[in-house]
Amino acid sequence: MTTAMTTAMMAVALASTLFLGSRTARATEIRTVARTLGEGYMVRAPGPEGLLLSRRRLVQYINLGVYDLLQPRDAGERRRAHEDGQLRIVTSMRIRHDFGSYAREGQSQADLLVKQIDGRQIDIMFAYLEAENLRGMIDVRAGRQFEMSGLDWYAYDGAWLRLRTPVHLGLEAFGGFQVDGSALFGFPTFELDGTANTPADSKRSPMVGAAVSAVGIRWLDARLAYRRTFSPASLNEKILNDDGSAGLAGAVDQEFVSLTVAANAAKGQLSPYAALRYNLGTGRLDDVSVGLQIAYTPKHLLRAMYMRTRPVFDLDSIFNVFNLQAFEDARLVYQVGLGTRWTLAARGQFRFFRDATTAHLATAPEQKVRVGAGGGATASFRVRRFSARLDGQGIGGEGGLRLGGSLDTRTMVAWDRVALDGRLYAMRYRDEYSAVREGHSIAVQAGVNVQLWRGVHLAVLGEEMFTSFYTQAFRVFGALTADWTLRVGR
């Protein structure tokens, strides 16, 4: 049995004991969300033959949440007050399969790639027991969970604890095992890059961390966190290496310090934010994001954003020895509301590519900074049962040329139970280094979203696309969603 299943079962058992053992419980809220997604289309396989492979994918999401497990303290309350603490269970499972020809096994490395992408069928996204505001100061989660700390995203099977102090500081500690994407009930989205299809891909990796955060301050959201993921040799003695030997050497897989700060000042008119992630393993700042939003009148809004990022790999990966340059992007957006129906926006964008001197060759680049620039404009219209959005954009310079535009509409009919969607978009692109990456695409989309019953929706979307490489490319997407909430008990 996997660590995730064991932890999840312990969480469910503990919550059930607390719930069933409490004879004075008033009512518990249960929420179920079942979403079925299906899509079908053709994809062109690489190679001169131009082989078309079919994709027939079916994905089922099943979410279950059990809330308000603790009874109210006062007899007149229907719900327990927030300051008295609460207990809940939150779970999500995904079942997926591809029935198309894309799922056919390839040869050599292609075989491994296809299995890695579509070989999974059951994923446990998250499953944890959460206690909030116990004794007015303690928050706990146990089970499979994922966390977003600024620009650091990760998933693990374990426990998280936060102690809220009277001085508006939260002291956090967490630990467990990194989610193994290759396991039966794994979750491959957060799998570490750089070790796929190697013995290290299935290793067991504990993870520990700590954080300090601002709590109870309405105008400030801030968190400083440290996280370390490592692979002890004692836990991976049975893994076979490529040469047939058993056991992996102990190693540190990831070690980060992350910071996120967001504020809301001047009655919401000024909203700055910043986030970063420093890689202690490589000794460099991998990701930075800063921005400022100024709403200097109720109708005028100005946003400035800057982002700098570079690929992050498992410290065991050979990709860490390559000189991977960071990608930088800066944008400025101005938005104005014209009455209650129209909203106009204009934006400018700059991309920066920096080349450093190659140390081992002692060669300097021709240009230290190469720039790509562009912009766009958007007009949005909205009335009671109709909305439309027209957008145009373009960017050129370093990285090639991209020109495009789109028109989106939504019309509500049948007492707002049916939404009719339409979209038209076109794109012209040209790569400055490869003549093969030059062409155009034009697509028309039409869809309908129907409320079959309260909490039950059916959505169907079809698209016909014409490109430089396809005479036509039709695809269809469907989604059936059932979202119900009920309260049980007295």
The pLDDT, as a whole number, for residue 487 is 76
Kindly tell me the sign of the dihedral angle through the C-alpha atoms of 101, 123, 147, 153. Answer: negative
**pTM, to two decimals:** 0.81
| Residue 68, CA distances (Å) to 65, 71, 359, 484 in order | 10, 7, 60, 16
Mean pLDDT over 88-112 rounds to 69
The pLDDT, as a whole number, for residue 311 is 84
Q: Give Cβ neighbours of residue 45 (< 8 Å, ≥ 6 apart).
A: 51, 52, 53
Q: Which of 8-17, 160-169, 271-280 has the lowest mean pLDDT?
A: 8-17
Q: Which two tokens stand for residue 121?
A: 């069928």
The pLDDT, as a whole number, for residue 109 is 47
Q: Which two tokens stand for residue 258?
A: 């992350």
pLDDT at 382 over 80: yes
Collapsing DSSP states into helix, strand and coil, what is residue 20?
A: helix
Kindly tell me the sign of the dihedral angle through the C-alpha atoms of 109, 113, 114, 119. Answer: positive
The pLDDT, as a whole number, for residue 114 is 44
DSSP type of residue 307: E
Q: Return mean pLDDT, the chain.
A: 83
pLDDT at 37 over 90: yes
Mean pLDDT over 455-481 rounds to 89
Tell me the pLDDT band of 476, cut-offs 50, 70 and 90.
very high
Look at phi and psi of residue 362 and say left if phi exceeds 0, alpha if psi is from -120 to 50, else beta.
Answer: left
The residues pairing with 66 across neighbouring beta strands, listed in sequence order, are 30, 89
End-to-end CA distance of the chain: 37
Of 99, 69, 101, 100, nearest to 85 (Cα)?
69
Kindly tell me the sign of the dihedral angle through the C-alpha atoms of 478, 188, 132, 258. Answer: negative
Pairing of strands 169-178, 122-134: unpaired
CA gap 359, 347 in Å, rounded? 38
Tell me the pLDDT band of 10, cut-offs 50, 70 and 90.
very low
CA gap 9, 170 in Å, rounded? 28
